[in-house]
Structure 1
Amino acid sequence: MSSIRIVTDSASDLTDELIEQWGISVIPLIITFGDEPLVDGVELAPQDFYARMSAAEELPTTAAPSPGSFEEVFRALAADGATGIVCVNLSYELSATGPAAATAAKSVSDLIEVRCVDSRSLTSGLGSIVLEAAAAAADGKSLDDVEALCAGMAERTRMFGAIDTMENLRKGGRVGGAKAMVGSMLSIKPIVDVSSGRVEEAARTRTRRRSFAWLRDRIVADEPVTHLCVGHGAAEDVDDFLALLGESIDLERVRTGWIGPVIGTHAGQGVIGVTYVVAGAD
């Protein structure tokens, strides 16, 4: 009998409850403050991360897991009876995590087949793909089917973030296509688009309220959408955004949660992100 297992990384920002419920293996990235490396999700929770970052003089740094970290998990899953593995990671454009997983997959190819998928997304966008993959695996879908499902969702996943400050993105070198916004960062509340797997400029708004309205209007314009999620990085006004969104969207559809340290390091405190999946072509 086929037993497909799902592996991802800690940038998926899945809760411990969801990880346990679906039997997902999560490989953590490393967050370093000064000379102190901390294992994301194990030694560092989102709430503690943002408090610590706000008090730090220098930004923390992030590091991808080693290929060996993935290989150890792949081998353990094979020993536990897995007949195939689908490993879905954060955007390959933004991290060496996915390539590390691909290297590990080659190392265990004589033991078990591992399919690596670039989610082209982050945080809850990645998390939604992983959850659907886990559900499909639990339903007995084949390795090919689960891989195809993930690849299809990756193409249709949209991610936008209302950034409260561009300082983290600028210092961290993750601005990419949004670099044109940096010169006027003090007078705007930018929106970034990570739907392509890269950080691109989506809009420039003059107030936080207008950035919230932009996010809401974009979701409404893209309807019908599924897997709608709202995440935040210690944003005190996240309830204000949800109230605004609730004027147009049934909030029962929305999965909410924290944006963890991997993304928060670059997006900064106060970030509010939305992810969702648009309908496919008929």
Structure 2
Amino acid sequence: MSRVAIVTDSASDLPPAAAAAAGIEIVPLIVSFGSQTYKAGVELSTNEFWRRMTAPDAPFPTTAASSPGDFKAIYERCFAAGASAIVSVHVAGTLSGTIKSAEIGRSMLPDRDIRVVDSGSASMGQGILAQLGAEMAARGGGAADIATTLDDRKADLDLYVALDTLAYLKKGGRISGAQAAIGTLLSVKPIITIRDGLVHTADKPRTRGKARERVLALLTQRPIERLAVLHTPPADGEAFRREALARLAGKLDPANVSIQLVGPSVGPHIGPGCVGGVVLYAR
């Protein structure tokens, strides 16, 4: 393990294999279907989540932050593995109580160097920051420098996702009933973004095709350093990736374009049939 360990949570949508390869520890958040509760990515895989999410008459899934004790346990594991400091990058505090649990977990280890970073984002918005942190740590970067850089680079992130409906955001309490009703009445395919840690509607195209085209335009409006394509079943993430690369021909190394199936921590809030991405714009 690098001298500085990088920790994030399952709302990052980082695939477990990719996180492990980068040396990133993931704290699983909680997802519940009725009375059945699971640790995301540990007791409930992304594929199994979507099978249950789209099953007829399935109860609406709910999400919750992990306990401070869960964070403390992960932090202790990192130190036991040889880390001298930790940078812990999490979903926006305005969207989840996760970062509060992380901060309490940190307070349980007062003699340890643990820096908690609010990504101001979700999904691969925080995932990309965690990856940047892991790369800096692998090069020997210190915890203070890594935390400062990640806090700075979050200004270069943008997230745009075309939804099939606003109903899931309403059920999850991330938007108001009035906002959702407008989308339903107009029969639009809303495009959401995150601004100042809050979910906003970036545009309201009338068809899936127009929404997809608009998301591509929004994501590629500035020079890009990295792109993470996001999708939920049955949307075709690979086709969207090809379309994005065609727009960016010669401007972005395909190796810097990944595809993530949105997982159990974010999926309940956006629902099936979504496609979009997170970009880290170049400086």
The corresponding residue for 1:184 is 183
1:247 positional shift: 3.3
The corresponding residue for 1:87 is 88
The corresponding residue for 1:67 is 68
Deviations 1:206-232 (A, max 9, x none): 0001111111111222x2111211011
Inter-partner Cα distance in structure 2 for 1:179 and 1:115: 38
Contact 1:7–1:24 (Cα < 8 Å) also in 2: yes
1:239 positional shift: 4.2
* Residue 23 (1) aligns with residue 23 (2): yes
Deviations 1:160-196 (A, max 9, x none): 11001211111111115x9535323251000011143
Contact 1:157–1:195 (Cα < 8 Å) also in 2: no
Contact 2:160–2:219 (Cα < 8 Å) also in 1: no
The corresponding residue for 2:48 is 48
RMSD of the alignment, in Å? 1.8
Aligned with 1:149: secondary structure?
A: helix
Q: Structure 2 counterpart of 1:69, which letter? A: D
Aligned with 1:125: secondary structure?
A: helix
1:101-180 matches, within 5 Å, as 101-110=102-111, 112-175=112-175, 179-180=178-179
The corresponding residue for 1:203 is 203
Residue 246 to residue 4, structure 1, CA distance change in 2 (3 Å):
closer
* Residue 270 (1) aligns with residue 273 (2): yes
* Residue 233 (1) aligns with residue 232 (2): yes
1:275 positional shift: 0.3
Q: Structure 1 counterpart of 2:92, which letter? A: S
- What percentage of aligned pairs have identical amino acids? 33
Between 198-207 and 234-243, report the one with greater CA deviation: 234-243
Gaps of 5+ in 2: none
Between 42-51 and 64-73, report the one with greater CA deviation: 42-51
Inter-partner Cα distance in structure 2 for 1:67 and 1:241: 38
Contact 2:16–2:41 (Cα < 8 Å) also in 1: no
Q: 2:259 aligns with which of 253, 256, 259?
A: 256
Aligned with 1:165: secondary structure?
A: coil
Q: Structure 2 counterpart of 1:13, which letter? A: D
Inter-partner Cα distance in structure 2 for 1:240 and 1:24: 28
Contact 1:170–1:182 (Cα < 8 Å) also in 2: no
Give the aligned length: 276
Aligned with 1:261: secondary structure?
A: coil
Q: Structure 2 counterpart of 1:97, which letter? A: T
Contact 2:5–2:78 (Cα < 8 Å) also in 1: yes
Inter-partner Cα distance in structure 2 for 1:246 and 1:182: 35
> TM-score, structure 1 length as denominator?
0.92
Inter-partner Cα distance in structure 1 for 2:109 and 2:260: 34
Gaps of 5+ in 1: none
1:241 positional shift: 3.0
> TM-score, structure 2 length as denominator?
0.92
Contact 2:12–2:125 (Cα < 8 Å) also in 1: yes
1:278 positional shift: 2.1
Contact 1:89–1:98 (Cα < 8 Å) also in 2: yes
Inter-partner Cα distance in structure 2 for 1:174 and 1:36: 23
* Residue 14 (1) aligns with residue 14 (2): yes
1:126 positional shift: 1.1
The corresponding residue for 1:5 is 5
Contact 1:31–1:262 (Cα < 8 Å) also in 2: yes
**Runs ≥4 in structure 1, deviation > 6 angstroms?**
none
Inter-partner Cα distance in structure 1 for 2:224 and 2:195: 14
Contact 2:7–2:24 (Cα < 8 Å) also in 1: yes
Residue 133 to residue 37, structure 1, CA distance change in 2 (3 Å):
same
Aligned with 2:273: secondary structure?
A: coil
Q: Structure 2 counterpart of 1:63, which letter? A: A
Contact 2:235–2:274 (Cα < 8 Å) also in 1: no
